[in-house]
Structure 1
Amino acid sequence: MNVVFRCDASIQIGTGHVMRCLTLADELARQGAKCYFICREHEGNLIDFITKKGYETYTLEAVSLGSSEKNQAESALFHSEWLGTTQETDAKLVLDIISGIQPNWLVVDHYALDSYWEENLRPHCDNILVIDDLADRKHDCDVLLDQNFLPNFKNRYNNLVSNATTQLLGPSYTLLKNEYSEIRNLNKQSEHLNTPQILVNFGGIGDFQLLSNFITAANDNPQFNYSVITGILEPKHFQQLNELIDGNHITLSNYTSEMPTLMYQSQFAFGACGSTVWERFCLGLNSALVEMADNQHPLITYLENEDLIDSLGHKSNLSSTKISRFLSSLNINNPIYTKRKGKIMNLVDGLGTQRISNVMFKF
């Protein structure tokens, strides 16, 4: 089975779309599929990372839009500018690539693409799977995947896809690596450590100001040990964060390949309201979440209303004083967190990737 993924990462987009596609690709490849990626060379792309994982990757040039193209892009979808070109141009370039692959599946994970793009590619692949979170545009696809947990998650796409589309909706279809389902069954012995471990990660693209505010607050709260994963940062900014650390209770890294283990070893987390929400839920890791982008507001609001997380609000309003105040009052042994742990683990069992892969192979 040949599977082509169309997804991008950038400073603006973040890394989540590519990372969850890689998770699905790993499972499909494990079952014998041949996977390919098509990505645009935006600043902050993960093309080298994808290639190093062994996947053949086709690149689309990042170009500056002309005035007419820019007007056309901006007048279409809310996230159109994330594509770096028009849907028409992108579709033509992708068609040139996949004509030699003849994919059984075309997997699309991009907020700037909709049914227009998909209709252009449909004659040239057997099936299309769309991964979405926003439910803000129509799709022409055989399978629609949205792993989010929202009040109306079972009905969000009823008017956006055809009746023939298979809809895979909710946290039971969360794209997680196999390690999460394996490690969640281990017997955790570290709930009552003298110095609890807190994991800090606000996404694959680092936010220097937010990280600075957090480290400043952590300096004043040595009752915890902090493992801070910054994401992609300019070297000078990473160095400045290192210099800001006061004490040996804070460790700083820009990347880890051991996120499941780090989550398992931690007693609390601070993070973005992105795809890592479901990783934390799978392992029962209670968390305080930050709204890193406006499109995360509905999810973080609903999770807070359902008493599944602590919300720290939008990143623009999160000062070091506010973070320090939260840390000084944080009691990870509070019974409320014990109750939450059971609730979030029941939502995400870690088998979603296998469920999606099985659907694709059955097609």
Structure 2
Amino acid sequence: MHILFRVDSSFAIGTGHVMRCLTLARMLKDAGCAVYFAMRAGLGDLCDEVERNGFPVFRLVYNGSVIQEVDAQWTIDVVRRFLPSVDWCIVDHYELDHRWEENVRAYVGRVMVIDDLANRPHQCDLLLDQNYYRQAKQRYHSLVPPGCRLLLGPQYMLLRPEFYEAKQFVSLRGGEVQRILLFFGGSDPTNETEKALRAFRELDVVDVEVDVVVGKANLNRFRVEQLCREMDFRYHCQIDYIAELMAKADFSLGAGGASMWERCFLGLPSAVTIVAENQRRSTEDAAAYGAVWNIGWHRDVKSSHYADIIDKVIALPEQLKSMSRKALELAGSAKGYIVHPVVEALLEG
């Protein structure tokens, strides 16, 4: 089976789309599929990273915003000129919708969409939204064609093997804070990491270890590294052991999106800053469930807010225990699969 991913990353849109597609790509490769990526080249792209993971990348180069007709034709050219066939085209891209999908699907077997906005119609055979929402099923009503299979909720989370391995060693947190993790995504375009680091400078926190994680797409990573050196915090850049750090931490400051669900999966209590519009609804619903604290929209969050949160969590062990339990209830039921249900759905056709 031949699979083509159409996905992008940049300093502006972050790295999350590509990273979750890479996770699914590895699973498909392990299942015997031939996997390819079609990606736009530019500042902050992860084309080289995808190739380092063993997947061929077809690069699209053009300036300006995404034009669906141009993008669709380029993707079609890739399929016709370079690939023997494409059984599934998997698209993970907020700027592409049913118009792009209708054009491309005439040249591929089937189309799968990875989405979490539920704000535009799709022309697809399979749709994955791995986030928790209180009204998940209603969100895509009238946005997908009849017969489209919907895979909705944290039970379909695309987790790397390291998370299943780390899950074996985690349990309900006890509420005592000895180790804190800071991770606001691979690119952290709103520079929450530095805000949070400055919050620690305002506090007199003793006997607490801090791990700070950034990606290579973080434009502020060198300044963050310098701050970590000055504050004697552990600095980690573009790592493949984030699950290990999450498992060891007692509390985390982070963004919404995929990393929020990874923290919940490992029962790690966290305070979440909404750094992109697509994170708003799922963060609000997870907070209403009691699995996270919702700090709010990034523009409204200052270093003083992070300082208040850090102060509070150290003084509220019972609340942290409750949050850890709720996080595990919400996302911790996902387990290691012989064949992941998303892969199973793709292989079934």
Q: Please confirm whether the aligned pair reaches a TM-score higher than 0.5, indicating the same fold.
A: yes
1:226 aligns with 2:210: yes
Aligned with residue 95 of structure 1, among 76, 86, 96 = 76
Q: What do residues 80-125 of structure 1 show as CA deviations (whole Å, max 9, x unaligned)?
A: xxxx331001011000101242111100000011111111111211
- 1:113-262 equivalences under 5 Å are 113-186=96-169, 191=174, 196-207=178-189, 209-219=191-201, 220-223=203-206, 224-232=208-216, 237-245=220-228, 249-262=232-245
State the secondary structure of the residue aligned to 1:155. helix
Q: Identical aligned pairs, as a percentage?
A: 30
Q: 1:238 to 1:146 in 2, by over 3 A?
A: closer
State the secondary structure of the residue aligned to 2:314. coil
Q: 1:162 to 1:326 in 2, by over 3 A?
A: same
Q: 1:208 to 1:242 in 2, by over 3 A?
A: farther
Contact 2:292-2:327 at 8 Å conserved across structures: no
Q: 1:191 to 1:46 in 2, by over 3 A?
A: same
State the secondary structure of the residue aligned to 1:303. helix
Q: 1:233 to 1:118 in 2, by over 3 A?
A: closer
Separation of aligned partners in 2, 1:234 and 1:144: 30
How far did 1:165 drift? 0.5
Matched with 1:54 is 54
The AA in structure 1 aligned to 2:188 is G
How far did 1:210 drift? 2.4
The AA in structure 1 aligned to 2:68 is Q
State the secondary structure of the residue aligned to 1:88. helix
**Normalization by structure 2: what TM-score?**
0.91
Q: What do residues 114-143 of structure 1 show as CA deviations (whole Å, max 9, x unaligned)?
A: 111111111211111100101111111110
Contact 1:201-1:271 at 8 Å conserved across structures: yes
Separation of aligned partners in 1, 2:289 and 2:52: 40
Q: Show structure 1 runs of 5+ residues with no match.
A: 65-83
Q: What do residues 238-291 of structure 1 show as CA deviations (whole Å, max 9, x unaligned)?
A: 333334347654122232110111111111111110111111111111100001
Contact 1:172-1:351 at 8 Å conserved across structures: no
How far did 1:226 drift? 1.0
Q: Which runs of 4+ in 1 moved over 4 A?
A: 187-193, 245-249, 350-353
Separation of aligned partners in 1, 2:131 and 2:215: 23
**Normalization by structure 1: what TM-score?**
0.88
State the secondary structure of the residue aligned to 2:17. helix
Aligned with residue 325 of structure 2, among 342, 348, 357 = 342
The AA in structure 1 aligned to 2:67 is T
Contact 1:206-1:232 at 8 Å conserved across structures: no
Contact 1:180-1:350 at 8 Å conserved across structures: no
Q: What do residues 31-74 of structure 1 show as CA deviations (whole Å, max 9, x unaligned)?
A: 1111000000131100010000010000000324xxxxxxxxxx
Q: Show structure 2 runs of 5+ residues with no match.
A: none
RMSD after superposition: 2.2
Contact 2:174-2:317 at 8 Å conserved across structures: no
Separation of aligned partners in 2, 1:113 and 1:210: 28
1:5 aligns with 2:8: no
